[in-house]
């Protein structure tokens, strides 16, 4: 029997047997160094007995209650903990079972905020090109990952959403521009779009603080998000930051926006929040937004069966406590530049490596046909997929992405190793990846 609708039909991936630390073992006896934590999820690696014990203890006490009847200590403590580490601007949190659900909730909350303030005309959402906010129709529709949207285009009305350019200096910063000028140009484009739509019609601006899987770990230029924050403030627009991939310590701070010097109105986190031990996502709400609901309807117009799920929250709480106790976010900040340096040494000279960029333990290598012109491959992402496959053969897991640039071009691989990865393992990552890349390009560049 083969009853699962696998990602590629009829192609069953290897059966995993177990995981320990940064390694996964399959049933055939092969071992893989997990250099991407799945999709930037497994911040504590695999097989962590402490987190498993916390999950088991919660399930034994009570696994699930409906949030209209009860709350649980795990849910309450996680809320306090998460709000606390987000910073003084944060006031409340709500937990879901995925990043997509958290983004749906954030978008609905932004709308409700304006309704309760007596501004019902604020319906429009501005997002960014080349960005991903989730697979559900709302989150997908407001993002800018066109090749995932095209089949469903008839369901997405363009009346109440539009996109501005994402911040992607490697491709779109002009050669004669400084970072500050580039950030200023993008801000001016946002201002123009706001004028075009009419500020009084705009509910929210949505952006990934560090762009994730679509283009591969692209930190913004310094100052860009300060411009964005200022523009949103001036026009009464809610700033929703999507830190589902880049947040929770992945970039070396609890939130990536901490490094940008901005405070969002709503931020969503997910992947590293539960470290993969349970499926969890969260929306964290600022005092500004929270207080409007408090003074108004006193109720968020949204509900899901598994909101604030006890077992899910117990896992996330245990993950945060462990990250904090072992000072692993600081370790990511310290060792992130080492990973970057290792990648540059191993790959920087390769003819088809166009860019190596990232922050903390969130890095990407972008592949190009021609380094001088930055001409991407037109393989629909096949180059990245081949590198993933070659790396996997060598016992290394890296996360491929591609086909997302205009015309279905572009290839990159993401590296987002667990925060417990040792220096020696970081060296192994760079060495194995180098082998895989050389092997793939030695065979030629055509898929
Ligand atoms: C930036 C970003 N937002 C949202 C999502 C959606 O999260 P999920 O797949 O947990 O629904 C993802 C998933 O990759 C993501 O990277």
pLDDT digits (tens, 9 = 90+) for 408-422: 999 999 999 999 999
Say yes or no: CB of residue 213 within 6 Å of ligand 1.
Answer: yes
Position 41 in a domain = no
Residues 275 and 406 in one domain: no
| 34 bridge partner residues | 397
Asked whether residue 44 is domain-assigned, the answer is: no
User: Model confidence over 51-102: pLDDT tens digits?
Assistant: 999 999 999 999 999 999 999 999 999 999 999 999 999 999 999 999 999 9
Q: Is 96 left (phi over 0), alpha (psi -120 to 50) or beta?
A: beta
Q: Is the CB of 245 under 6 A from ligand 1?
A: yes
Distance (Å) from CA 302 to ligand 1 centroid: 20
Please check whether residue 307 lies inside any domain of the structure.
yes
Question: Which residue shows structure tokens 């696994």?
Answer: 63
Which domain-ending residue is among 296, 325, 354? 325
Give the closest residue to 119 by CA, choosing from 229, 228, 198: 198
Same domain, 343 and 320: no
Domain range spanning residue 335? 16-34+327-442
How many separate domains does the chain show? Answer: 2
CATH of the domain at 211: 3.40.640.10
Residue 249 confidence (pLDDT): 98
Residue 447 lies in a domain: no
Structure tokens at 141: 């529709």
In this structure, the number of other CB atoms found within 10 A of the CB of residue 16 comes to 13
360-375 pLDDT tens trace: 999 999 999 999 999 9
CA 139 to ligand 1 centroid distance, Å: 9
Domain assignment of residue 8, yes or no: no
Q: Which of 325, 346, 380 is the last residue in one of the domains?
A: 325
Q: Please check whether residue 369 lies inside any domain of the structure.
A: yes
Last residue of a domain, one of 301, 325, 349: 325
- The whole-chain average pLDDT of the chain stands at 97
- Mean per-residue pLDDT for 214-242? 98
Residues 388 and 288 in one domain: no
- Predicted confidence band of residue 136 (pLDDT cuts 50, 70, 90): very high
The residues pairing with 277 across neighbouring beta strands, listed in sequence order, are none
CA distance 182 to 173: 6
CA distances to 103, 114, 232 from 237, in Å:
16, 9, 5
Asked whether residue 1 carries a pLDDT value surpassing 80, the answer given is: no
100 lines ligand 1 (CB under 6 A): yes
Whether ligand 1 lies within 6 angstroms of the CB of 116 is answered as no
Same domain, 303 and 155: yes
Same domain, 195 and 296: yes
Cα 245 to middle of ligand 1, angstroms: 7
The CATH number covering residue 349 comes to: 3.90.1150.10
Structure tokens at 259: 């490094």
pLDDT, one tens digit per residue, over 159-181 is 999 999 999 999 999 999 999 99
Of the chain, the percentage scoring pLDDT greater than 90 comes to 97
Q: Is 274 in the pocket of ligand 1 (CB under 6 A)?
A: no
CA 181 to CA 158: how far, in whole Å? 30
Same domain, 313 and 332: no
Provide mean pLDDT across the span 190-218.
97
| Domain presence at residue 2 | no
Q: Are residues 320 and 333 in the same domain?
A: no
**pLDDT value of residue 443:** 74
Same-domain status, 66 and 124: yes
Please report the pLDDT score of residue 323 as a whole number.
98
Residue at 371 is within a domain:
yes
Q: What pLDDT, on the 0 to 100 scale, is given for residue 425?
A: 98
Q: Is 254 in the pocket of ligand 1 (CB under 6 A)?
A: no
Residues 348 and 320 in one domain: no
Q: Name residue, tokens 């250099």.
A: 35
Probe target for ligand 1 pocket from 99, 135, 316, with the most ligand atoms within 8 Å of CB: 99
Q: CB of 133 closer than 6 A to ligand 1?
A: yes
Determine which residue's CA is closest to atom 6 belonging to ligand 1: 134
Protein residue with least CA distance to atom 7, ligand 1: 99
At 309-345, the pLDDT tens digits run: 999 999 999 999 999 999 999 999 999 999 999 999 9
Q: Do 276 and 256 share a structural domain? A: yes
The answer, yes or no, to whether residue 447 has pLDDT greater than 60, is no
- For residues 402 and 425, state if they share a domain: yes
Rounded-to-integer distance, Cα 100 and Cα 244, Å: 9
163, 220: one domain: yes
* Sheet containing strand 396-397, strands side by side: 16-20, 23-26, 31-34, 396-397
How much is the pLDDT for 445? Answer: 62
Check residue 76 and report its DSSP letter: H
């Amino acid at each position: 029997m083969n009853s699962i609708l696998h990602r590629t039909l009829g192609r069953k991936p290897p059966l995993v047997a177990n995981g320990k630390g940064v390694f996964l073992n399959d049933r055939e006896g092969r071992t893989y160094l997990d250099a991407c934590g799945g999709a930037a999820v497994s911040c504590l690696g695999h097989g962590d007995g402490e987190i498993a014990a916390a999950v088991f203890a919660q399930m034994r006490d009570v696994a699930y209650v409906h949030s209209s009847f009860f709350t649980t200590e795990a849910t309450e403590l996680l809320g306090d903990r998460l709000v606390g580490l987000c910073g003084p601007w944060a006031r409340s949190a709500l937990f879901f079972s995925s990043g997509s659900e958290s983004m749906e909730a954030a978008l609905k909350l932004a709308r409700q905020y304006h309704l309760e303030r007596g501004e019902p005309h604020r319906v429009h959402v501005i997002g960014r090109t080349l960005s991903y906010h989730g697979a559900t129709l709302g989150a997908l529709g407001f993002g800018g990952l066109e090749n995932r949207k095209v089949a469903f285009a008839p369901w997405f009305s363009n009346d109440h959403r539009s996109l501005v350019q994402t911040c992607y200096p490697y491709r779109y910063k002009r050669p004669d521009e400084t970072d500050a000028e580039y950030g200023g140009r993008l801000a001016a484009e946002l201002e123009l779009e706001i004028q075009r739509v009419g500020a009084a019609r705009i509910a929210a601006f949505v952006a990934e603080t560090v762009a994730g899987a679509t283009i591969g770990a692209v930190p913004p230029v310094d100052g860009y998000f300060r411009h964005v924050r200022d523009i949103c403030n001036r026009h009464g627009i809610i700033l929703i930051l999507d830190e589902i991939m880049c947040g929770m310590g992945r970039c070396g701070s609890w939130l990536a926006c901490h490094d940008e010097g901005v405070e969002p109105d709503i931020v969503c986190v997910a992947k590293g929040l539960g470290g993969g031990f349970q499926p969890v996502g969260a929306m964290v709400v600022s005092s500004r937004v929270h207080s409007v609901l408090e003074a108004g309807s006193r109720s968020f117009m949204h509900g899901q069966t598994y909101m604030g799920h006890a077992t899910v929250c117990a896992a996330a709480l245990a993950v945060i406590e462990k990250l904090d106790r072992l000072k692993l976010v600081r370790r990511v900040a310290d060792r992130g530049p080492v990973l970057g340096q290792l990648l540059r040494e191993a790959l920087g000279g390769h003819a088809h490596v166009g860019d190596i960029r990232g922050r903390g333990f969130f890095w990407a290598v972008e592949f190009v046909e021609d380094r001088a012109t930055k001409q991407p491959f037109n393989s629909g992402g096949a180059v990245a997929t081949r590198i993933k496959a070659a790396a996997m053969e060598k016992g290394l897991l890296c996360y491929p992405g591609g086909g997302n640039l205009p015309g279905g071009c572009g290839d990159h691989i993401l590296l987002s190793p667990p925060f417990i990865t040792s220096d020696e393992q970081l060296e192994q990552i760079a060495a194995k990846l180098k082998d895989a890349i050389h092997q793939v390009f030695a065979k030629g560049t055509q898929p």
